């Protein structure tokens, strides 16, 4: 059975819509609610959403202007490429079909998940992969260990107070590009700059545990870049969580995350690596927060929200349930977001 994909009317004055970008490949398995294309008129840009599960096939290329209501592709119950002897994007192993959403497949490749661990009696979704990646939340595996902080700004001060209050680590110093001009932050000495040779020397002295305090400062990769560098050099990242944050035991979390006072992280939520959940932010149940994201103070995310990597959710924002936010996105302070946001957008 085929389900036709027709272009909807986006505004009252436009009879034509442009297929700006296909977000999936022909033959991919898509799931209901998954964004499959970016479409736009001169006034509106939005996403075309899959209305059911199946294999998608495009009939028009990117950049095409199509009339409202025109069929631009279809979703099929069966893999029509396979029926014709063509290898599609769908994975198969030992003669049993492995049905995966595109996002799930990307995460499987990214984290090197063994396909034999995945179910074949249903569609594999993002949450299935993330549960295999993430570790159950725990306050700390070790105590009274030396800890470095990378960056000497405002988040650094927040981390210092959290660590001092919890007593899990002994802060041995701060790494900051302003060294030696910057001497100390909240009584903690700045011991080195951020050059590779300086960082290697710090490691040679036996200091390996670290937390990144660099926040979003207008540079899209300002938080990601030091994390990548420090990982390449062999540093070990820890999580720093305020004892007044509410973090449900069913969440899964990577490394290098900061969760501030008053933040709430709901059940079955997955948090990647190197994220900040700032004071008073609410991340509701079943959300996915990918690597290098910053959820600013007072932001509220409804249930099942997905925030892709390297994205800022500004202060006081509200993201409604089931919304997907793309990579490298900035949601400005106070914005209300009701619909999906594609990659590389600024909203508000």
In this prediction, residue 140 carries a pLDDT of 41
Q: Is the pLDDT of residue 36 over 60?
A: yes
Give the model confidence (pLDDT) of 215-226 as tens digits.
886 666 789 999
Long-range CB contact pairs, 287-294, < 8 A, 24+: 288/126, 288/127, 288/130, 290/327, 291/224, 291/254, 292/221, 292/223, 292/224, 292/227, 294/215, 294/216, 294/223
Which SS3 state, helix, strand or coil, does residue 227 take?
A: helix
In this prediction, residue 151 carries a pLDDT of 94
Give the model confidence (pLDDT) of 20-33 as tens digits.
888 888 888 888 88
Give the model confidence (pLDDT) of 297-332 as tens digits.
999 999 999 999 999 999 999 999 999 999 999 999
Q: What are phi and psi of 345, to 5 degrees?
A: -105, 155
- Please tell us whether the domain made up of 1-89 is placed in CATH 2.40.50.100: yes
Query: For residue 39, what are its two tokens?
Result: 């479409």
Give the model confidence (pLDDT) of 91-150 as tens digits.
443 444 667 776 777 777 766 676 766 776 667 777 677 766 655 554 443 334 789 999
d(CA 94, CA 115): 11
21 neighbors 35 (Cβ within 8 angstroms):
no
CATH code of domain 145-237? 3.40.50.20
Same fold, 1-89 and 145-237: no
In this prediction, residue 347 carries a pLDDT of 94
Mean pLDDT of 178-191: 92
Give me Rg for the CA atoms of the chain: 23
Which of residues 115 and 159 earns the better pLDDT score?
159
Taking residue 246's Cβ as centre, other Cβ atoms within 10 Å add up to: 12
In this prediction, residue 141 carries a pLDDT of 39
| Half-sphere exposure at residue 67, Cβ-oriented, CA atoms within 13 angstroms | 2
Q: Is the pLDDT of residue 257 over 70?
A: yes
Q: Give the domain ranges of the chain.
A: 1-89, 93-133, 145-237
Of the candidates 269, 158, 145, 271, the residue with the CA atom closest to the CA atom of residue 213:
158
Which SS3 state, helix, strand or coil, does residue 189 take?
A: strand
Q: What are phi and psi of 116, to 5 degrees?
A: -65, -15
Which of residues 16 and 125 earns the better pLDDT score?
16
Q: Is the pLDDT of residue 35 over 50?
A: yes
d(CA 46, CA 21): 11
pTM over 0.85: no
Place of tokens 């590779």: 196
The whole-angstrom distance between residue 8's C-alpha and the CA centroid of its chain comes to 29
In this prediction, residue 90 carries a pLDDT of 42
Cis peptide before 180 (omega within 30 of 0): yes
Give the model confidence (pLDDT) of 335-346 as tens digits.
999 999 999 999
Angle of helix 126-133 relative to helix 102-111, nearest 10 degrees? 20
In eight-state DSSP terms, residue 59 is: S
Average pLDDT score, the chain:
85
């Amino acid at each position: 059975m085929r389900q036709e994909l027709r272009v909807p009317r986006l505004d009252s004055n436009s009879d034509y819509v442009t297929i700006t970008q296909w977000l999936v490949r022909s033959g991919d398995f898509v799931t209901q609610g998954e964004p499959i294309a970016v479409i736009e008129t001169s006034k509106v840009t939005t996403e075309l959403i899959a209305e059911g599960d199946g294999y998608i096939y495009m009939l028009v290329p990117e950049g095409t202007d199509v009339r409202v209501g025109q069929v631009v592709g279809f979703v099929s119950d069966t893999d029509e490429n396979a029926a014709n002897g063509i290898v599609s994007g769908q994975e198969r192993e030992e003669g049993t079909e492995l049905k995966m959403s595109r996002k799930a497949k990307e995460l499987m490749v990214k984290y090197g998940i063994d396909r034999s661990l995945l179910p074949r009696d249903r569609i594999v979704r993002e949450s299935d992969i993330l549960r295999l990646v993430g570790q159950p939340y725990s306050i700390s595996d070790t105590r009274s260990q030396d800890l470095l902080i990378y960056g000497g700004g405002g988040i650094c001060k927040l981390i210092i107070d959290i660590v001092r209050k919890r007593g899990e680590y002994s802060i041995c110093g701060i790494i900051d590009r302003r060294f030696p001009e910057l001497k100390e932050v909240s009584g903690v000495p700045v011991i080195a700059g951020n050059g590779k040779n300086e960082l290697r020397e710090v490691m040679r002295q036996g200091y390996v545990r670290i937390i990144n305090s660099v926040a979003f400062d207008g540079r899209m990769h300002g938080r990601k870049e030091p994390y990548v560098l420090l990982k390449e050099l062999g540093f070990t990242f820890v999580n720093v969580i305020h004892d007044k944050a509410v973090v449900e035991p069913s969440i899964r979390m990577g490394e290098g995350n900061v969760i501030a006072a008053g933040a709430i992280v709901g059940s079955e939520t997955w948090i990647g690596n190197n994220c900040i959940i700032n004071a008073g932010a609410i991340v509701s149940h079943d959300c996915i927060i990918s690597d290098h994201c910053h959820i600013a103070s007072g932001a509220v995310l409804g249930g099942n929200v997905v925030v892709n990597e390297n994205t800022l959710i500004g202060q006081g924002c509200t993201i409604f349930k089931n919304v997907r936010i793309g990579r490298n996105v900035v949601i400005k302070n106070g914005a209300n977001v009701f619909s999906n946001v594609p990659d590389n957008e600024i909203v508000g």
